Structures are given as structure tokens and as C-alpha cells.
Amino acid sequence: MDTSLGRSYECCRQLHRRHGRTYYLATRLLPAWKRRHVHALYGFTRYADEIVDQTGELSPEMRAARLADWSDRFLAGLGGERVDDPLLPAVLHTIAVFDLDRADFAAFLRSMAMDLTVASYPRYADLLDYMDGSAAAIGTMMLPILGSVDPAAAREPARQLGFAFQLTNFIRDVAEDLDRGRVYLPAEDLAAFGVTHADLVAAAGRRAVTPRIRQLIEYEVTRARAHYRAAAPGVTLLAPASQSCIRTAYVLYGGILDEVIAAGYDVFARRAVVPRRRRAAVVARALLTPTGTPVAVPGSPGEPWRRMSRAGAPNRDRRTTATTP
């Protein structure tokens, strides 16, 4: 690598280390030559996310202009132009090395632009449309870097893992998203459990959950775990050198949901974090697990689904469709 490209990869690594602690820990289990490419993708996606999340510092118009400028520079780089940017050379190099699908990046930037104008989602299908770019596309970006014995079979599990990780973040960060003026829990789910937007705001202000919100969060945890179940077969389809990394990420992100459950589904009292000791144990276990061992799938369908049905929400398609567990 030339010096400027090396600096760009290091800039992405530092961004990943600072802001993506769980995922960064997992990537340390990858071979070094793969690791830098994962950092590059994280740097790209994180920076775009930071632009749209600067709600306190920049107006929507300013954020839209900044995202458009960033996107234009990225597209110019894809077209072969030299870009003067600390992050873009690394991601452009990664795209070239692995011939990554440009459509995934277009889908991602589309979802980032949605965050500038969309504050809530009526149905889960609408949220899935957003997450198709913000989460599933990242799973398919990653797949060529991780490598797979059967890329076609691994594609949908990779998408499902993206959904699972992002839903985990949405569940944990309800209060933080409210501060940005957004709700990523579908309006149909709130209505099914008798929860209003004002109820969420009040609970965040009190830093205490209500019984109805508790039931809502329990349901969303069950939905996220359905995506984890759909993603699980993909871990053993990865290249052997990548399995311990994704196994660790799978367990640690799922562990955030464990912490939410342990807190009685109260996502307002404190931010759910996997304890450091457990994180270290997960890494050690992943290193000792033989390649090809299926991941332990958390949770099971059942009571929350029945409760949702009793609450009057439509239950069809929830457990039968691949993209909407």
C-alpha cells in the first residue's frame, strides 16, 4: 500500500475502534489482511451515519448537503477520480479488491438519506425497506471479505444477521433515537400494545418503563431473535478463518438482548451492555470452538407471539416469511 492508502485504512480502524467496540472486538479474530477491509467498510458506513445523526449541530438541510457531497465524492472515486478524503481511499480500494456490488452501497446511501426525512415507520415492512439498505446490504458487502464455501447459500443468512444486529441496536437505543426525533419501532406494534409516541417520550424522561412498553420491547426482542435464528446457518458456511469472528459478533450482539431481558425489558433505566468479563469469555470460547460447529441459537418462538396475537396485532407472515420472521 502507498502511504496515503495506509493512512486511510488506519483512519477507518481508529473510527471502528472508537465507536464499534463489540464489532471491533470480533474483527480482531480475523486474519490481519481481512481485518483492514472490514475496518474500511465500518469507517464508510459509520461516517455516513454520523452525518445524518448530527441533529443537534446541523439543520436537516445542512446534513442533506453534507451527505450529498460525501456521496458525490464516493461516486467520483468509484469512477476513477482521485479523492481527497481521509476515509474514502480505503473503502474504494476494498471495493476494487473484492469487486463488491455497487448496488449495496447505493442501497446503503439511500437508507441514510431516509434518516433525514423519515421519523417513523407505519409497519414492519416499511422498516424492513429501510433496513434493507442500512443493515442487510452491509451483510452482503461483508460476505466476499469473509469468504464462503457457498456464497449463494450464505447470502440470505448474511442479510438476516444484518437485520438482527440493527434491530438489537434499535431496541437498546430507543431513548437515544427519540432524542434524534426518530422511532424505529413500527407504529403498528406500538398500537397493538396500546403505546403512543408520547408514552415513549415520557418513559425516556422518567428513565423507567411502563408495563405496556415492557410488553412491546419483549415482542421486539422476540422478533430480533427470529432474525438471529434465520442467520445462524450462515456462520458455518463462512470460510474457516472467518467463523470465529462472526460467531463472536453473533453471540455478543445477542448478549445485548440478554441484558435487555435481564433488566426486565427496561431500555430506559440504563443502556444494555455486555459485561467485559462475559465479552472476554465469548472470545475465548469462539477461539476454542472447532470450525463448522453450529452457533447456539438464542430464544425460541412462543409466548410473546401469542401475546401479540391476543393484543389484536396481525400475526400472519411473522414466522413464515424469510425476510420478515
Q: pLDDT tens digits for 135-156?
A: 999 999 999 999 999 999 999 9
123: left (phi over 0), alpha (psi -120 to 50) or beta: beta
Q: What torsion do the CA atoms of 23, 26, 28, 29 make, to the nearest 10 degrees?
A: -160
* Mean pLDDT value of segment 113-123: 96
Task: Check pLDDT > 50 for residue 310.
Answer: no
Mean pLDDT value across the chain? 90
Task: Check pLDDT > 80 for residue 298.
Answer: no
- Least confident piece of the model among 42-51, 60-69, 308-317: 308-317
What is the pLDDT at residue 284? Answer: 93
Indicate the residue type of 303: E
Give the pTM: 0.89
Residues 6+ apart with CB under 8 A from 61: none
Domain extent listing, the chain: 1-117, 119-325
Indicate the residue type of 263: A
User: In this structure, which topology does domain 119-325 adopt according to CATH?
Assistant: Farnesyl Diphosphate Synthase (1.10.600)
Task: Check pLDDT > 90 for residue 108.
Answer: yes
Task: Check pLDDT > 90 for residue 302.
Answer: no
d(Cα 149, Cα 153) in Å, to the nearest integer? 9
What is the pLDDT at residue 227? Answer: 97
What is the pLDDT at residue 308? Answer: 37
Q: At 3, is the pLDDT very low, low, confident or very high (cuts 50, 70, 90)?
A: low
d(Cα 245, Cα 283) in Å, to the nearest integer? 8
CA–centroid distance for 3 within its chain: 31
Task: Check pLDDT > 90 for residue 305.
Answer: no
pLDDT tens-digit profile of 59-77? 889 999 999 999 999 999 9
Which has more confidence, 70 or 317? 70
What is the pLDDT at residue 194? Answer: 98
Side-chain-facing half-sphere of 190: CA atoms under 13 Å: 17
What is the pLDDT at residue 299? Answer: 61
Residues 6+ apart with CB under 8 A from 281: none
* Mean pLDDT value of segment 166-180: 96
Check for a shared fold between 1-117 and 119-325. Answer: yes
pLDDT tens-digit profile of 216-268? 999 999 999 999 999 999 999 999 999 999 999 999 999 999 999 999 999 99
Indicate the residue type of 91: V
pLDDT tens-digit profile of 5-42? 999 999 999 999 999 888 899 999 999 999 999 999 99
Task: Check pLDDT > 90 for residue 322.
Answer: no
Task: Check pLDDT > 70 for residue 325.
Answer: no
Q: At 296, is the pLDDT very low, low, confident or very high (cuts 50, 70, 90)?
A: confident
What is the pLDDT at residue 324? Answer: 32
Q: Which one is the CATH code of 1-117: 1.10.600.10, 3.40.50.720, 3.30.420.130, 1.10.1240.10? A: 1.10.600.10
Q: At 54, is the pLDDT very low, low, confident or very high (cuts 50, 70, 90)?
A: confident
Task: Check pLDDT > 90 for residue 312.
Answer: no
